[in-house]
Structure 1
Amino acid sequence: MEYTRLNKAIAETGYCSRREADKLIESGKVKVNGKKAEMGVKVTREDEISVKGQVVTKTVKSIYLAFHKPVGITCTTDLRIKGNIISYINYPERIFPIGRLDKPSEGLIFMTNDGDIVNKILRSRNNHEKEYIVTVNKKITSDFIKRMGNGIPILDTVTKKCRVTKVNNYTFKIVLTQGLNRQIRRMCEYLRYDVTSLKRLRIMNISLGNIKPGKYRSFTKKELKDLLNLCEDSRKTHDGF
């Protein structure tokens, strides 16, 4: 559950500014779940906020977006960083990315306001598939494909076995169930290849499809249902760990 300072939560409803909210709280005119609020208290989306007896809680439905991150955009919620994904997408509600896709890469990333689904998807033991198409700077050999698929020593570990398929002399597809930092680029570098382009095509059951760079779409009801089922199944499978 994500907590927000009460003055910020009130300001986000459009009722007043944070400074004005502080004055209202201090004067005892704000209640949270029917109880008089104190300065500095934090609330969640589930709490009911009232000001002068009027409920001001902003009800926001859960948001699930498939976004095509362009090259050059940074997957951070820090608005001070130029080219951050939040400012770029400029969505009217507060959302955040699930996971990361490095700045030189493009492709599918999920954006949401649902913290619960974030935890389910990011749980590394869940082995959720992510598919990429990658172009490198020199001809791909059968040895390269074999070694990439069998595991590469990077970051003090050996990558899990994965599916790697040659597309043409310079391009391959790879399906990972890990999320190590810059994993594909590091794997290629170990084999003395440089990545010239990298695009994520799929996360679990949801594909990038024909979403253009910089654009997004909402999950379909079926996509969301299937995604939650995949999360639930994988969680149950590993309960004993």
Structure 2
Amino acid sequence: MRLSKVMAERGICSRREADEFIERGWVFVDGKRVSELGVRIDPQARITLAPEATRTQQQRVTILLHKPVGYVSGQPEPGYAPAVSLIGADNQFDRDSAQRFHPSQLKNLAPAGRLDIDSTGLLVLTQDGRIARQLIGEHSEVDKEYLVRVEGSLTADGLALLNHGLELDGRRLRPAKVEWLNDDQLRFVLREGRKRQIRRMCELVGLTVVGLKRVRIGRVRLGELPLGQWRFLRDDEPF
């Protein structure tokens, strides 16, 4: 198995980071330095990183943004601004924090998960491939919580289907947790993130989503982060 793939599957780093570390000679397999891309190894081999690689990972930032409606989380669309355009010194929340914004932190800063243009709430942007894999990897078990305001009527059977039993694009959805919070608002907890998933789920049971806000990813909550502002993920905030 390719060394970079093994490193990514073990959560050591992303595959792109693995290739970077290998090229720099910062990866050791069973105590031997590897500096050639494409090397195949025993999947059970011992892999360690040089101190330089560890320091590089520690310098990479993860940012929590309260995304407003009207911003796209990923690639910009004509006429719409990307959410990353909100990341700057003027929008940093908790400016008394010891960690201050620097333009270099925008390099390779990418969203770890989507939040559509009509939705608001917690969006994670990161330079750290380990966090991206944890949140959006194929086998991610990190759940996400949403508050969803809807119009329409929902039967008991419809609510049961929202929890488990629906399909999108010919694929069965993973079980969710969906419950009423009040007369027009539902709470969704999901462990996957298909494109416009909640809106499409609601359409299948006769509901129209009129407001959607993500309030939690794993153990990290949106909390009091103001709309349109951002802060750094702290070392004591594991997802």
TM-score higher than 0.5 here?
A: yes
Tell me which residue corresponds to 2:49.
none
The answer as to 2:107 corresponding to 1:109 is no
Tell me which residue corresponds to 1:127.
141
1:176 aligned to which of 166, 171, 190: 190
Tell me which residue corresponds to 2:27.
none
Normalised to the residue count of structure 1, the TM-score between the two structures is 0.65
Could you say which structure has the larger radius of gyration? Answer: 1
Tell me which residue corresponds to 1:21.
none
Shift of residue 59 of structure 1?
A: 11
* Greater relative CO, 1 or 2 (CA 8 Å, sep 6+): 2
Length, aligned pairs only:
175
How many percent identity over aligned positions?
Answer: 30
1:158 aligned to which of 158, 172, 182: 172
Shift of residue 140 of structure 1?
A: 4.1
Letter of the 1:155 counterpart? D
Asked whether the 8 Å contact 1:107–1:208 carries over to 2, the reply is yes
159-168 or 195-204, which deviates more: 159-168
What does the per-residue CA deviation read over 1:194-224, in whole Å, with 9 as the maximum and x for residues that have no partner?
100000111111011111111112222211x
Which runs of 5 or more structure 2 residues have no equivalent in the other structure?
Answer: 1-14, 18-22, 25-51, 90-102
Distance in 1 separating the partners of 2:180 and 2:218: 21
Distance in 2 separating the partners of 1:125 and 1:182: 20
The answer as to 2:234 corresponding to 1:216 is no
Distance in 2 separating the partners of 1:169 and 1:213: 25
Asked whether the 8 Å contact 1:148–1:164 carries over to 2, the reply is yes
Asked whether the 8 Å contact 1:151–1:162 carries over to 2, the reply is no
Tell me which residue corresponds to 2:37.
none
After TM superposition, the structure 1 = structure 2 runs for residues 51-62 of structure 1, keeping only pairs within 5 Å, are 61-62=59-60
Which runs of 5 or more structure 1 residues have no equivalent in the other structure?
Answer: 4-31, 34-45, 48-57, 228-241
Letter of the 1:164 counterpart? V
1:198 aligned to which of 201, 212, 233: 212
Tell me which residue corresponds to 2:69.
71
Normalised to the residue count of structure 2, the TM-score between the two structures is 0.65
Asked whether the 8 Å contact 1:131–1:201 carries over to 2, the reply is yes
Asked whether the 8 Å contact 1:148–1:187 carries over to 2, the reply is yes
